[in-house]
């Protein structure tokens, strides 16, 4: 079974939702037969690469809330994250463009390191003091190398703005086609969708239902035909 997760590194609920999903997946009896793929979704696709601002300021401007309301929201998110065993800095975080991170995640997928990299990016953005937005490409290189990617290969991706750009845009178009207007958005076997950072119990139910409703292979019986198998190949009689 395949589970695709549309998310953004700048999305705190994606950070929390991933942990809740993984809690459900860990207890799922068929977890070794579940492939998880992370897909790209930008919460702020129009933001310029160098346009970085404090999270609280971004929230007040985007949602028209007061600084006190924005800070209260961050405190609530911190509590939700802590309940999942996640670190979360409720103050002095910043917000910026995540397009390059998504491009790197597509590269990491080819190297079998996508899940490790997205978790490292989440941790860096939500739990660490150093910014993933203001230190330039070398900060991203450092985070990618920490999960086993080659520094030179990572730099080549980051310095070529076209590398994996089409893959990111294709993911975003597909999210729109599937009706995802927010993240996290989980799609199970392209049959079931789960929106938001649901409790682990909801993901358990979704995994169980999706697994139970997989369509068995239907064989079209057209009579005996020659074939090869573990014991060898059929020998032509004529």
The answer to whether 44 and 11 are in contact (CB under 8 A) is: no
Question: How high is the pLDDT of residue 215?
Answer: 66
Is the pLDDT at 218 greater than 90? The verdict is no
One DSSP character per residue, 14-35 reads HHHHHHHHHHHHHH-TTGGG-E
Q: Show the tokens assigned to 142.
A: 């450092």
The answer to whether 157 and 107 are in contact (CB under 8 A) is: yes
Is the pLDDT at 236 greater than 70? The verdict is no
Euclidean distance between the first and final Cα of the chain, in Å?
43
Rounded mean pLDDT of 39-63?
Answer: 95
Question: How high is the pLDDT of residue 219?
Answer: 59
The answer to whether 90 and 18 are in contact (CB under 8 A) is: no
Phi then psi for residue 133, to 5 deg, are -110, -25
Sign of CA dihedral 152, 158, 159, 160: positive
Q: Show the tokens assigned to 201.
A: 């119990």
Rounded mean pLDDT of 184-211?
Answer: 96
One DSSP character per residue, 157-206 reads HHH-TTTTHHHHHHHHHHHHHHT--SS-EEEETTTEEEESS--HHHHHHH
Rounded mean pLDDT of 65-94?
Answer: 97
Measure the CA–CA gap between 92 and 71, rounded to whole angstroms: 10
The answer to whether 8 and 38 are in contact (CB under 8 A) is: no
102-111, 124-133, 210-219: the lowest-pLDDT one: 210-219
pTM: 0.89
Is the pLDDT at 60 greater than 60? The verdict is yes
């Amino acid at each position: 079974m395949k589970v695709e997760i549309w998310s953004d590194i700048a999305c705190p609920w994606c950070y929390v939702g991933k942990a809740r999903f993984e809690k459900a997946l860990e207890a799922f009896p068929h977890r070794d037969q579940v492939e998880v793929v992370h897909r790209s979704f930008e919460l702020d696709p129009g933001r310029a690469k160098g346009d970085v601002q404090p999270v609280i300021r971004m929230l007040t401007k985007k949602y028209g809330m007061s600084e006190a309301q924005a800070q209260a929201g961050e405190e609530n998110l911190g509590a939700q994250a802590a309940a999942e065993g996640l670190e979360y800095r409720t103050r002095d975080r910043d917000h910026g463009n995540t397009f390059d991170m998504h491009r790197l995640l597509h590269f990491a997928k080819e190297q079998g390191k996508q899940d490790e990299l997205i978790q490292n990016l989440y941790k860096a953005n939500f739990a660490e003091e150093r910014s993933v937005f203001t230190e330039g490409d070398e900060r991203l290189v450092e985070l990618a190398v920490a999960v086993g990617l080659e520094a030179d290969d990572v730099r080549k991706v980051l310095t070529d703005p076209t590398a994996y750009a089409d893959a990111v845009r294709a993911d975003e178009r597909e999210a729109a086609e599937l009706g995802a207007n927010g993240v996290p958005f989980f799609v199970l076997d392209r049959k079931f969708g789960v929106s938001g950072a649901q409790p682990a119990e909801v993901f358990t139910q979704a995994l169980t239902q999706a697994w139970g409703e997989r369509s068995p292979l239907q064989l079209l019986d057209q009579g005996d035909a020659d074939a090869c198998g573990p014991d060898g190949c059929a020998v032509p009689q004529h």
